[in-house]
């Protein structure tokens, strides 16, 4: 299964661009419709996983402009670790959890059997009994 990876330098700018296109299309219905950068890059129905070392609220600002299933992973806190790798592990934003989130979204879209997700959880040694990061 193929995937695309994008690096986002500013969710704020993406959000501003999408709002500007939305506003233009609402207020100038006889003009050529504008398409936001988000629409050009993330069109389609394939699930999208946004993973960031910032709080989840930051990438969530573009959620209403994404038509595909959109999963946000973020580090909702600070001071929990001595390295970036440990931070990403604690907040479940590391490569293992990004893969699990993508597979889970595919299961939700009925594009993948649950057994494949379960196998990936075992393969990546994800502790499903560990407390959620926001409860610790």
Q: pTM value?
A: 0.87
Q: Give the model confidence (pLDDT) of 13-40 as tens digits.
A: 999 999 999 999 999 999 999 999 999 9
What CATH code is assigned to 46-135?
3.40.50.920
What is the reported pLDDT for 72? 96
DSSP codes joined into one string, 44-112: SSS-EEEE-SS-THHHHTTGGG--S-EEEE----SSS-SSHHHHHHHTT-SHHHHHHHHHHHHHHTTSS
What is the reported pLDDT for 1? 63
Residues in the chain: 136
- Residues lower than pLDDT 50 in the chain: none
What is the reported pLDDT for 130? 94
């Amino acid at each position: 299964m193929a995937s695309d990876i994008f690096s986002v330098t500013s969710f704020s700018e993406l959000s501003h661009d999408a709002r500007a296109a939305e506003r233009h299309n609402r207020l100038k219905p006889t003009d050529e419709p504008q398409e936001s950068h988000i629409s050009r890059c993330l069109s389609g129905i394939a699930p999208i996983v946004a993973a960031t070392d910032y709080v989840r609220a930051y990438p969530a600002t573009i959620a209403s402009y994404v038509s595909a299933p959109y999963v946000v992973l973020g580090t909702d806190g600070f001071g929990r670790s001595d390295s970036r790798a440990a931070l990403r592990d604690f907040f479940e934003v590391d490569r293992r959890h990004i893969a699990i989130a993508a597979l889970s979204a595919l299961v939700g879209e009925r594009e993948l059997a649950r057994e494949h997700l379960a196998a990936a959880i075992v393969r990546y040694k994800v502790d499903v009994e560990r407390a959620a990061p926001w409860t610790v």
